[in-house]
A and B are shown apart, each in its own frame.
Chain A
Amino acid sequence: MNKEAQVQKMTDMMAKFVGYTGKKLPDDVIAKLQELREKETEALPKVIYDTMFRNQELAVKLDRPSCQDTGVLQFWVKCGTGFPLINELEGLLKDAVVKATFETPLRHNSVETFDEYNTGKNVGKGTPTVWWDIVPNWDGCEIYTYMAGGGCTLPGNATVLMPGEGYEGVTKFVLDRMTSYGLNACPPLLVGVGVATSVETAALLSKKALMRPIGSHNENERAAKMEKLLEDGINAIGIGPQGMGGKYTVMGVHIENTARHPSAIGVAVNVGCWSHRRGHIIFDKDLNYTITSHSGCVL
């Protein structure tokens, strides 16, 4: 296959995969929602979960996006330096989003800032968002896809705490956000927390944390303990599905961290809604693919 045909093939596959993730949730999210659904006993959360599951069934059956807000597309790329399409990758992801916008269809969610007009194609200056991690001495490419809807983008926040505020300050920062903005962000939420050295390092990690599979833990023992404490703590507030009350408010809390300056604790929070449309696909150098997020998905 020549380069042009390869680019076309990967563009088509990514467009299909993006469209698919808008119609069917990843396996781990479905399993977690099922678990939380079974644990609720009151009428209100039960009715809400019944609606959610019926919606996901209908979306697949009628081949429509399960939520009307198909978000801004974001890609987290881990690309080997030897991947044959490394030079074309960013461009082809943009083309894939345009293609998916018309074929799926996706809502038009890209408004140029300052000029303030909707491009009508879901792409614009810097959108879709593409974050790069370069992997030396590898010829494959791993891509996380994510539809960042408006409702669950709004709670995002980052700050730098003084060390005197400590991890107690981190706790308060995260929990305050849950009761002020979490209600409208379509809980049960997946909560990503970045603990690092500055606003941008923490913010990036808080979104990266949402790419981790539900049920995974930070490899640092204390960070993992804090994930559990925050998860139990937010659940105990009782916000529940749709913010209307229930036993469980989160699908999980994921912390990602780096070292910090002795004088600063950078902290950020990002949330994913219950309709957490994350995908994960790995390509080898011949464009054979493996999808880990959605079993049974064939492109």
Chain B
Amino acid sequence: MVEYRDGKKILVTPISADDLKDVHIGDILYLSGSLTTCRDVAHRRVVEEGREIPVDVRNNAILHAGPIIRPLENDKFEMVSVGPTTSMRMEKFEYEFVKTTGVRVIVGKGGMKENTANACKDFGCIHCVIPAGNAVVAAVCVEEIERAEWRDLGMPETLWNCRVKEFGPLIVSIDAEGNNYFEEKKIEYNRKKDEQVEIISKQVGFIK
């Protein structure tokens, strides 16, 4: 579902492929509903070991992150601090992961490449960036941690299934057409870098 509130565009789980049709790279979104932290080893288990993911992320969202969690009573947990980790580490697994799990929204840090872009295009999914280093902003969007699975992986790698409210801002880096914000930007950055190297080099000929 898509909701609009206070000028914000909010994706509410469950999210359909149709909901992502008008979403483009560079758009700013928020997310409400089911968000599960999922990173290195969980991806490996799903893709390489062929294990079934114990939290159903179909039409929901995952977050590449390793949070700081405080255990409460009665097997409940509090989200103290959570920020995105480098998404590129999951690039190798992401096509198969999206295909197998049916996840709709992947949130992380920095860009991803063609494996993920192809998955986004083929299965109707997006990759978003949440500005990194903002661990408290992200943590206070978590209303409750509903489940904790694959706890044998330790605090950072456990699948923490969270109910979030207006989690964001999320900046779309790959849209469901497979357009890739960072890969487009990198071409521009590299061109400008070459120009700047040339400009600066003319002024630092200190060895004569």
Question: Smallest Cβ distance from B136 to chain A, in angstroms?
Answer: 4
**Within B81-136, which residues are at the interface with A (CB < 8 Å)?**
81-83, 86, 88, 109-111, 129, 131-136
Alpha-carbon separation in the docked complex, A46 to B181 (Å): 18
> Does the CB pair B136–A55 fall under 8 Å?
yes
Tell yes or no: A65 within 8 A of B by CB.
yes
For this complex, 17 residue pairs linking A to B, each with C-beta atoms less than 8 Å apart, are A44-B26, A51-B134, A52-B133, A54-B137, A55-B133, A58-B140, A64-B139, A66-B136, A68-B135, A151-B86, A166-B206, A168-B201, A233-B200, A236-B192, A236-B196, A242-B131, A243-B111
> Does the CB pair A237–B196 fall under 8 Å?
yes
Q: Which residue of A lies closest to B81 (CB)?
A: A68
> Does the CB pair B197–A244 fall under 8 Å?
no
Question: Smallest Cβ distance from A6 to chain B, in angstroms?
Answer: 33
- A interface footprint on B169-208 (CB within 8 Å = 1, 0 otherwise): 1010000000001100110111011011101110111110
For residue B200, which residues in chain A have a CB less than 8 angstroms away from its CB? 168, 171, 175, 229-230, 233
Closest 5 CB pairs of A and B: A167-B204, A55-B134, A233-B196, A168-B201, A184-B110
For residue A233, which residues in chain B have a CB less than 8 angstroms away from its CB? 196-197, 199-200
Q: Which residues of B contact A (CB under 8 A)?
A: 26, 28, 65-68, 80-83, 86, 88, 109-111, 129, 131-137, 139-140, 169, 171, 181-182, 185-186, 188-190, 192-193, 195-197, 199-201, 203-207
For residue A166, which residues in chain B have a CB less than 8 angstroms away from its CB? 204-207
Contact status of A168 and B81, CB under 8 A, knowing A64-B139, A183-B110, A273-B133: no
Q: Which residue of B lies closest to A240 (CB)?
A: B185
For residue B88, which residues in chain A have a CB less than 8 angstroms away from its CB? 184
> Does the CB pair A238–B192 fall under 8 Å?
yes
Tell yes or no: A274 within 8 A of B by CB.
yes
Tell me whether chain A's interface is mostly helix, strand or loop, or mixed: helix
For residue B189, which residues in chain A have a CB less than 8 angstroms away from its CB? 179, 183, 237-239
> Does the CB pair B132–A151 fall under 8 Å?
yes
Tell yes or no: A226 within 8 A of B by CB.
yes
> Does the CB pair B131–A238 fall under 8 Å?
no
Q: Which residue of A lies closest to B173 (CB)?
A: A244
- B interface footprint on A55-68 (CB within 8 Å = 1, 0 otherwise): 10011001011111
Q: Which residue of A lies closest to B82 (CB)?
A: A68
For residue B110, which residues in chain A have a CB less than 8 angstroms away from its CB? 183-184, 243
Question: Smallest Cβ distance from B125 to chain A, in angstroms?
Answer: 20
Contact status of A59 and B204, CB under 8 A, knowing A44-B28, A68-B67, A184-B110: no
Q: Which residue of A lies closest to B130 (CB)?
A: A51
> Does the CB pair A168–B204 fall under 8 Å?
yes
Question: Smallest Cβ distance from A45 to chain B, in angstroms?
Answer: 10
For residue A243, which residues in chain B have a CB less than 8 angstroms away from its CB? 110-111, 182, 185
Alpha-carbon separation in the docked complex, A166 to B195 (Å): 18
- B interface footprint on A202-233 (CB within 8 Å = 1, 0 otherwise): 00000000000000000000100110011001
Contact status of A107 and B207, CB under 8 A, knowing A65-B135, A183-B182: no
Identify 18 new A-B residue pairs, CB closer than 8 A, beyond the known A59-B135, A242-B132.
A47-B28, A47-B131, A52-B133, A55-B134, A58-B136, A62-B136, A67-B81, A67-B132, A68-B65, A163-B207, A167-B204, A168-B204, A171-B197, A175-B200, A179-B189, A233-B197, A233-B200, A243-B185
For residue A176, which residues in chain B have a CB less than 8 angstroms away from its CB? 193
> Does the CB pair A58–B196 fall under 8 Å?
no
Alpha-carbon separation in the docked complex, A2 to B193 (Å): 59
> Does the CB pair B135–A175 fall under 8 Å?
no
For residue B139, which residues in chain A have a CB less than 8 angstroms away from its CB? 64
Alpha-carbon separation in the docked complex, A44 to B66 (Å): 25
Contact status of A66 and B135, CB under 8 A, knowing A166-B207, A237-B192: yes
For residue B196, which residues in chain A have a CB less than 8 angstroms away from its CB? 175, 233-234, 236-237
Tell yes or no: A48 within 8 A of B by CB.
yes
Question: Smallest Cβ distance from A176 to chain B, in angstroms?
Answer: 7
Q: Which of A48, A167, A168, A274 has the most CB of B within 10 A?
A: A168
Alpha-carbon separation in the docked complex, A254 to B10 (Å): 42
Q: Which residue of B lies closest to A118 (CB)?
A: B154
Q: Which residue of B lies closest to A241 (CB)?
A: B131
Alpha-carbon separation in the docked complex, A142 to B169 (Å): 40
Alpha-carbon separation in the docked complex, A279 to B83 (Å): 23
Alpha-carbon separation in the docked complex, A225 to B169 (Å): 38
Alpha-carbon separation in the docked complex, A167 to B200 (Å): 9
Question: Smallest Cβ distance from B57 to chain A, in angstroms?
Answer: 22
Which listed residue, B137, B190, B201, touches A179 by the CB 8 Å rule?
B190
> Does the CB pair A168–B205 fall under 8 Å?
yes
Alpha-carbon separation in the docked complex, A229 to B135 (Å): 34
